[in-house]
Structures are given as C-alpha cells and as structure tokens.
Amino acid sequence: MKSFASLLLIFLFILGCSGSKYFTNEGEKLYYDKCSGCHRVYQKFELNAEKWKEKLNEMAPHAKLKNEEKEIILKFLLNN
C-alpha cells in the first residue's frame, strides 16, 4: 500500500509540473494561444467590457484574429 501511495504522489507531482494548460472552452484557448505570444495574459477582471472591446479591436490585427475568433474571445472575456 505504501508503494502505491508513493507512486500516486510521484505521478501527481509530475502531472502538476507538466506546465500544460487545460482550457475550459474554445474562447479561453484562443485567448491564450493568440494573446500570450507577445505579452502577458490579462485576467478577465482587469478590464471592464468597454475596455476589453477596445483592446481586442486594437490588438486583433497584430494577433491576426479573424472576426469570428475575436467574437469568441470577447465572449470568453465577458463571461464572468
């Protein structure tokens, strides 16, 4: 039993250190994939709805976002 517990702890430690990000939806994945390449990813609460819209319109050309992707990201950011 001790060996099983030790193996389980090692497995959980390795899994926790893997650095993989698990996304809850497509908007979150797009946001991290498209926006984290050039700057830190801001938390949803750091900007209000109006500022998020402004920022997305400003940054969309730099991130090469399609209109559909921009809408998906905005929906994710505004869904609290």
Alpha-carbon dihedral sign for residues 78, 48, 46, 58: positive
Q: Which amino acid is at 39?
A: H
Instruction: Give the domain ranges of the chain.
Output: 20-78
Position 17 scores a pLDDT of 56
The verdict on domain 20-78 having CATH code 1.10.760 is: yes
pLDDT at 24: 87
The model carries a pTM of: 0.71
Q: Within 10 A of 63 (CB to CB), how many other CB atoms are there?
A: 18
Dist CA 26 CA 14 (whole Å): 26
pLDDT of residue 22: 80
Task: Give the mean pLDDT per block of 10 residues along the chain (80 residues).
Answer: 74 61 89 92 94 96 96 92
pLDDT of residue 6: 77
Selection from 49, 53, 55 nearest residue 35 by Cα: 55
Q: How far apart are CA 28 and CA 36, in angstroms?
A: 11
